[in-house]
Amino acid sequence: MSLPRLAEWLGPAVGTVDDGPDAVDGPRRWWAGPLDVEGLALGSVRAAVSAFRLLTGERGLAVSAAQVAGAFGSQEYLRVDGRTPQMFAPLSRWFRAADGWVRLHGNYPHHVLALREVYGVSEPEELVRILRDRTAAEIESAVDAAGGIAAGLRTPGDWLSSPAGQAVAAEPWISWRFGASGSSPPVGPGLSGVRVLDLTRVIAGPTGTRLLAQLGADVLRVDPPHRPEILAQHLDTGAGKRSVVADLGDPGTRSRVEDLLGAADVVVTGYRPGALDRWGLGEEALRERHPHLVVVVLDAYGRQGPWAGRRGFDSIVQAATGIGHVYGGEVGGSWRPGALPVQALDHATGYGMAAAAMALLLRRTRDGAGSAHLSLARTAHVLLQLPPVSGATRQLSVTTQQTHSPHGLLDHAVGPITRDGVPVPLGVPGRYGAADLSW
């Protein structure tokens, strides 16, 4: 079966591109379901490999279906000292509304506080009683206004006909802004010598920077002290990176970050649009002060339209864009919305971000640095628009490994790529927040 050619989205940055490895090691289908999640997964990883090949000239990387399946489902395979960490909190689930369904997200304490602010309660059973008397639109608007995260269930047609859906559809999967003429030395071997400042959270952005670290980049992730990352999330996506907690509200810290920017090659951001502007870390400000920087920006719903400033995670975007409706079905005698077999929007967007960063590094050697933008919602559009695939699914044997970390013994899936037939090693996730704010 053919594979989606997501590497074609790199064309505006690098010209004609190859489509990554000529073949994939393993089967084409392994997750049962109505959408081509496998195609999205394989296509996004192949796009990243294509960009790496163009940047470095190395041809030895290949894509393994079993490793891609493990990487996209990495949370399923993670164990810490033999224990399965909790990834989804009780509030991160579907709730019935008066006119349908709504998806909430409560993995982070500040999002739980937002729900309590709106409804006076934050226990799932109490919310079940309250939300069933309110429409999905009322719920998502009230929760969003309070700083929380919610989305009513839509069909794909309803989403695409809405102003928000039309705004997302008008953007490419990867949108580009290019800098003035200039040149920088080529990188390599691998991404050796490339410095990446990681200002992302949760899964998508950290997945992309984890791949850059896996390929040799020096990645430093910075988190705010008042909103630390979930430890299991750090252990899942922090391999090979250094982690620091720093208060950008402190002038001395901002000065040190400015020094980091001056010596960095890539900045990857993953906060809600405008959230970093007050620290001078928005896309335009970064490009103006540091024209040598490659900047890759992630958000939930794109740059334009009525939802451009909304918060969103993979599961929430699935609800809003209609994927939850596509995967719905009869459960216990009644219809319920469903979900993708893995958080594919997060992971595919992350590999797209890594591909964009490498494509822009290549362009920088000839024409100067530029920036790229991706959104979870636009990745949802890509998935919904992929042609259906047929054929039997095959079970895969996912490759896992054990790694000693400062937080315990980790069992985890290996990364999605091989070099000369051997999985490319993942580094060790360091102790959360313990690194220095320096290269």
The span from the CA of 97 to the CA of 134, in Å, is 6
Strand partners for 175: 373
The strand order across the sheet containing 24-25 reads: 24-25, 61-64, 417-419, 422-423
Q: Which residue has the tokens 């103006």?
A: 288
Cα dist. 72→86, 203, 346 in Å?
17, 10, 9
**End-to-end Cα separation, the chain, in angstroms:** 45
Indicate the residue type of 320.
Answer: A
Give me the amino acid identity at 426: L
Nearest alpha carbon to residue 137 among 94, 98, 90: 98
Q: 40 with 348: CB under 8 angstroms?
A: yes
Q: What tokens does 406 get? A: 């400062």
- Spatial contact of 3 and 386, defined as CB atoms under 8 Å apart: no
Going 357 to 361 to 366 to 367, the CA torsion angle's sign is positive
Distances (CA, A) of 94 to 136, 178, 315: 11, 41, 10
* CA–CA dist 429, 231 (Å, integer): 11
Residue 154: other Cβ atoms inside 10 A: 23
Quick check: is 81 catalytic?
A: no
Q: How far is CA 112 from the centre of its chain?
A: 22
Determine contact, residues 30/334, Cβ cutoff 8 Å: no
279: DSSP letter: G
Which two tokens mark 85? 């960490």
Task: Out of 133, 314, 346, 411, pick the active-site residue.
Answer: 346
Based on its alpha-carbon atoms, the radius of gyration of the chain, rounded to whole angstroms, reads 21
- The per-residue b/e assignment along 187-225, b for 16 or more CB within 10 angstroms, e otherwise, is beebbeebbbbbbbbbbbbbbbbbbbbbbbbbbbbbbee
Q: Looking at the annotation, which residues are catalytic?
A: 346
